[in-house]
């Protein structure tokens, strides 16, 4: 019983807590991007219509990086204004590149309605890098940036600083501004929530616990069964990727990726229409026999629900495949250990 509890604790409970944490964090990121773009955009008129009185408000800025000072201040500019931001204590998000291997830019808008497995590979499943500003080594001049939060205006000069309502949102990216929101929503999620900052430490602790117990039990012949079980505990992280169950593991990853693709499509379909000039949105969703383009099938909310249902089906099927491969390999490992010990 104690061995089973140890396995559940190290391989399910701790990574599971991390999965909830990481999913919540990326959900918050997506919401913060949507909220940031609903702040008024700082313009020349807004910056110079305040007179010389110091004022502050919530704005967003879209432009490029111009310079970085040694005192954690960066300078930004666009066609209308130039301003600065105090980056001390901030974290920044680096969106995955919008270019493919040949150097051509990805056409995100076109890919939204292409459908099929090619689309899932064309729109990469990379996750944005999250880096504390103090650990940022260098950034190229001219890189695009979205910065949102409290803007302090003094003497017609603007500077973004953290306010009482929270940190600044800072996203560096390449490509065009038109696809920024969709890209942030698409990429702003974990590839697989099980693999999170807690997982590596937890798996290592489970492995060491299993090995320590197996060493203890193997020293006494009467403890043959606990010794086998403790070895199994230490091998659990490796069992899914051993042949022949590795085939099921590959299928599990493929279907899980497809479910992630559909959840990303769902979130894009649920974006506020005002972000796109109240134009109707289109999307894709995998059908039972492959994939289907859902243009004209109904309003975005209905298509989002269909994507959600399909995503759940793919994720449940992927888990069934994973458990099938795991159970088969576990049986073979148990038989092998029973012969050896």
Let me know if residue 328 belongs to a domain: yes
**Are 49 and 72 in a shared domain?**
yes
Q: How many domains does the chain have?
A: 2
**Are 214 and 118 in a shared domain?**
no
Give residue 68's region: left, alpha or beta (phi > 0; psi -120 to 50): beta
User: What does the block give as tokens for 335?
Assistant: 């038989």
Burial 41-74 (b: 16+ CB within 10 A, else e): ebeeebbeebeeeeebeebbbbbebbebeeeeeb
Q: What is the 3-state secondary structure (H, E, C) of 286-312?
A: CCCCCCEECCCCCCHHHHHHHHHHHHH
**Are 201 and 312 in a shared domain?**
yes
User: What does the block give as tokens for 261?
Assistant: 């693709």
Query: In this structure, what DSSP letter does residue 93 have?
Result: E
**Are 162 and 228 in a shared domain?**
no
Cis peptide bond upstream of 29, omega within 30: no
Instruction: Select from 187, 204, 225 the last residue of a domain.
Output: 187
**Are 183 and 198 in a shared domain?**
no
Judging by beta carbons within 10 Å of its beta carbon (0-12, 13-18, 19+), is residue 281 exposed, middle or buried?
buried
Q: For residue 268, which phi and psi values (nearest 5 degrees)?
A: -70, -40
**Are 14 and 121 in a shared domain?**
no
Burial 142-177 (b: 16+ CB within 10 A, else e): eebbbbbbbbbbeeeebbbbbeeeeebbbbbbbbee
Beta-carbon count within 10 A of 261 CB = 25
Per-residue pLDDT at 294: 43
User: How far from the centroid of its chain's Cα atoms is residue 247's Cα?
Assistant: 26
Query: In this structure, what DSSP letter does residue 96 have?
Result: P
User: What does the block give as tokens for 270?
Assistant: 């649920």
Strand partners, 150: 58, 161
Nearest of 2, 4, 7, 3 to residue 203 by alpha carbon: 7
Instruction: Select from 187, 208, 241 the last residue of a domain.
Output: 187
**Are 156 and 294 in a shared domain?**
no
Q: Provide the domain limits for residue 274.
A: 2-25+193-340
**Are 166 and 233 in a shared domain?**
no
Strand partners, 105: 99
**Are 239 and 316 in a shared domain?**
yes
User: What does the block give as tokens for 117?
Assistant: 């497995």
Let me know if residue 34 belongs to a domain: no
Q: For residue 33, which phi and psi values (nearest 5 degrees)?
A: -65, -45
Distances (CA, A) of 145 to 80, 93, 137, 273, 290: 15, 10, 17, 23, 37
**289 near 117, Cβ under 8 Å?**
no
Per-residue pLDDT tens, the chain, 341 aa: give them. Answer: 678 899 999 999 999 999 999 999 999 999 999 999 999 999 888 887 755 554 678 999 999 999 999 889 999 999 999 999 999 999 999 999 876 554 555 555 444 433 444 444 446 788 999 999 999 978 998 999 999 999 988 878 899 998 666 689 999 999 889 889 999 999 999 999 999 999 999 999 999 999 999 888 888 777 888 889 999 999 999 999 999 999 999 999 999 999 999 999 999 998 876 565 555 554 444 343 333 434 445 678 888 889 999 999 999 999 999 999 999 999 999 999 888 87
Let me know if residue 30 belongs to a domain: no
**Are 176 and 300 in a shared domain?**
no
User: What does the block give as tokens for 279?
Assistant: 């134009």
What is the pTM (predicted TM-score) of this model?
A: 0.83
């Amino acid at each position: 019983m104690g061995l089973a509890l140890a396995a559940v604790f190290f391989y399910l409970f701790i990574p599971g807590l991390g999965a909830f944490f990481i999913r919540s964090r990326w959900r918050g990121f997506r919401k913060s991007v949507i909220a940031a773009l609903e702040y008024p955009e700082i313009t020349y008129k807004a910056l110079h219509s305040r007179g010389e009185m110091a004022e502050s408000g919530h704005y967003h800025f879209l432009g490029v990086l111009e310079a970085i000072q040694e005192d954690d201040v960066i300078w930004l500019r666009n066609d209308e204004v130039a301003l600065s931001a105090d980056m001390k204590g901030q974290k920044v998000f680096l969106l995955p590149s919008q270019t493919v291997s040949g150097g051509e830019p990805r056409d995100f808008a076109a890919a939204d309605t292409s459908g099929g497995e090619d689309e899932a590979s064309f729109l990469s499943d990379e996750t944005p890098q999250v880096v504390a500003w103090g650990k940022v080594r260098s950034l190229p001049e001219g890189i695009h940036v979205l910065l949102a939060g409290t803007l302090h205006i003094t003497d017609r000069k603007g500077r973004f600083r953290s306010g009482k309502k929270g940190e600044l949102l800072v996203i560096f990216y390449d490509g065009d501004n038109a696809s920024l929101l969709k890209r942030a929503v698409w990429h702003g999620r974990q590839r697989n929530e099980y693999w999170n900052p807690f997982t590596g430490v937890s798996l290592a602790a489970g492995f060491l616990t299993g090995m320590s117990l197996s060493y203890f039990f193997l020293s006494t012949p009467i403890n043959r069964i606990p010794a086998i079980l403790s070895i199994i505990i230490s091998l659990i992280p490796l069992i899914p990727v051993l042949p022949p169950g590795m085939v099921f593991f590959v299928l599990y990853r493929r279907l899980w990726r497809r479910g992630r693709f559909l959840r990303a499509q769902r979130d894009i379909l649920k974006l506020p229409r005002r972000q796109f000039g109240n134009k109707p949105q289109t999307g894709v969703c995998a059908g039972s026999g492959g994939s289907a383009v859902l243009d004209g099938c109904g309003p975005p909310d209905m298509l989002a629900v269909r994507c959600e249902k399909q995503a759940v089906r793919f994720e449940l099927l992927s888990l069934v495949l994973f458990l099938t491969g795991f159970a088969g390999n576990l049986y073979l490992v148990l038989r092998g250990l029973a012969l050896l010990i």
